[in-house]
Amino acid sequence: MTTQELLRAFCDAVEQRNGKAFADLFSEDGVYHDVFYGAFEGRAKIAEMIDEVFYRTATDFRWDMHSPLSDGEQLYAHYTFSYRSTLPEAKGARVMFEGVAMMKLRDGKIASYHEVANTAPAFVDMNFAPERIVRILARQGAALKARPEMRRHLA
């Protein structure tokens, strides 16, 4: 599978609420580190993340990957991501943010997925109170600082 095919299958599986197809892109012991929900390890948990967690409070997902770079072991891509929020305070608003996807690849599968995203616009789109946005962003910052590979960049 080419890089472009992998990324298109990745995005399509999310948009189609197809957790199995999404999880099949990962190695058996693969880990997906979500900027909102944390880590999901193994194909069963990754599939559940798509089918249950993502769609619990959102619908109508759109995900596009741009300008991918890969050496066969690492894959990076800028992305745009949006969905329609079903949270009461969002009143059906379309929420959009962008970020960078970072994937470790092994034998043609994703062994590890991490992302860094500017999520603040999403919270504004959902009409979250400013105090709530500050609390959420503080938690996200703490989680980022806890990642060993990010520590030297945040020091």
Q: Tens digit of pLDDT for each residue in 83-131?
A: 999 988 888 999 999 999 999 999 999 999 999 988 777 777 877 776 7
Q: Tens digit of pLDDT for each residue in 1-23?
A: 899 999 999 999 999 999 999 99
Domain ranges of the chain: 3-154
Mention the CATH class of domain 3-154.
Answer: alpha beta
Pairwise CA distance, residues 105 & 17, whole Å: 23
Pairwise CA distance, residues 25 & 55, whole Å: 19
Q: How far is CA 7 from CA 11, 13, 133, 137, in A?
A: 6, 10, 30, 27
Specify which of 36-40, 62-66, 151-155 reaches the highest per-range mean pLDDT: 62-66
Pairwise CA distance, residues 134 & 34, whole Å: 19
Among 55, 54, 12, smallest CA distance to 35 is for 54
Pairwise CA distance, residues 39 & 79, whole Å: 19
Looking at residue 111, its pLDDT comes to: 98
Share of the chain above pLDDT 70, in %: 86
- What does DSSP assign to residue 71? -
Mean pLDDT calculated for residue range 14-37: 96
Q: 0.75 cut: is pTM over it?
A: yes
